[in-house]
């Protein structure tokens, strides 16, 4: 019976502490979310372009070696 009471006490304590920590969380505004999304999209496009150029250069180099 003591172990059940201990589990209930620990569970209650965990829920209270979790709720307190959840209150400290900063949820981004829609504007912040949009800005972060635009940064990610821009970086993905830049990296895709860079990798594409590297790939085209490597392909040309390999073709020169093969011929």
Three-class secondary structure of residue 24 per DSSP: coil
Contact present, 36 and 28 (Cβ < 8 Å): yes
Rounded-to-integer distance, Cα 19 and Cα 15, Å: 6
In this prediction, residue 1 carries a pLDDT of: 66
Three-class secondary structure of residue 1 per DSSP: coil
Q: Per the structure, how many domains does the chain have?
A: 1
CA-based torsion, 29, 35, 41, 44: positive or negative: negative
Rounded-to-integer distance, Cα 23 and Cα 39, Å: 28
pTM value is 0.62
Domain encompassing residue 7: 2-66
pLDDT tens figures, 1-47: 678 888 899 999 999 999 999 999 999 999 999 999 999 999 999 99
Mean pLDDT of 49-61: 96
In this prediction, residue 54 carries a pLDDT of: 97
């Amino acid at each position: 019976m003591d172990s059940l009471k201990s589990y209930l006490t620990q569970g209650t304590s965990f829920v209270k502490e979790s709720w307190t920590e959840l209150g400290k969380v900063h949820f981004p505004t829609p504007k912040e979310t949009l800005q972060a999304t635009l940064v990610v999209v821009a970086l993905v496009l830049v990296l895709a372009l860079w990798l594409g150029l590297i790939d085209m250069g490597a392909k040309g180099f390999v073709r020169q070696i093969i011929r």
